[in-house]
Amino acid sequence: MEPGSTISAISSQRVLCGNDIRPALILIREGKIHKILPDAGLNTDAACEVLDVGNKVVMPGIVDCHVHVNEPGRTSWEGYWTATRAAAAGGVTTIVDMPL
């Protein structure tokens, strides 16, 4: 690692890697995934903070490419405030608004 770089890790028994779900340790450097090690039991040689999430599934965020947010206009039905929070609660990290 370069001097001054920040590193952390996420350990899980269920990491989605391609078509497989398996134990893994995900190394994160400077806010981006740096490396995925194939065994969650591996110990990192760099001093870093490890978040062990046990059996929780770790996977890429989901993109919902067709939502109707209705803002401006009918925010009483669904606005960005409620739409983005509902999406995030379901694992959706990106929405694409399709205006009505």
The pTM of this model reads 0.66
- One-letter amino acid for residue 27 of the chain: L
The domains of the chain are located at 7-58, 62-97
Model pLDDT, residue 23: 94
Average the pLDDT over 77-85 and give the result: 85
Task: Tell me the pLDDT tens digit for each residue of 22-77.
Answer: 999 999 988 889 999 987 555 655 567 888 999 999 999 899 999 988 767 666 77
Question: Would you call the peptide bond into 99 cis, given omega within 30 degrees of 0 as the criterion?
Answer: no
Q: Is the pLDDT of residue 3 over 60?
A: no
59 residue type, one letter: M
Enclosing H/E stretch for 84:
helix 80-89
Q: For the domain 7-58, what is the CATH code?
A: 2.30.40.10
Using the predicted structure, report yes or no on whether residue 15 has a pLDDT greater than 70: yes
**Segment 78-90 mean pLDDT:** 89
Distance CA 17, CA 99 (A): 34
- Judge residue 18's burial from the number of C-beta atoms within 10 Å of its C-beta, 0-12 exposed, 13-18 middle, 19 or more buried: exposed
CA atoms within 13 A on the CB side of 69: 18
The residues, ordered by sequence, that sit 6+ positions from 89 with a Cβ below 8 Å of its Cβ are none
pLDDT of residue 1: 46
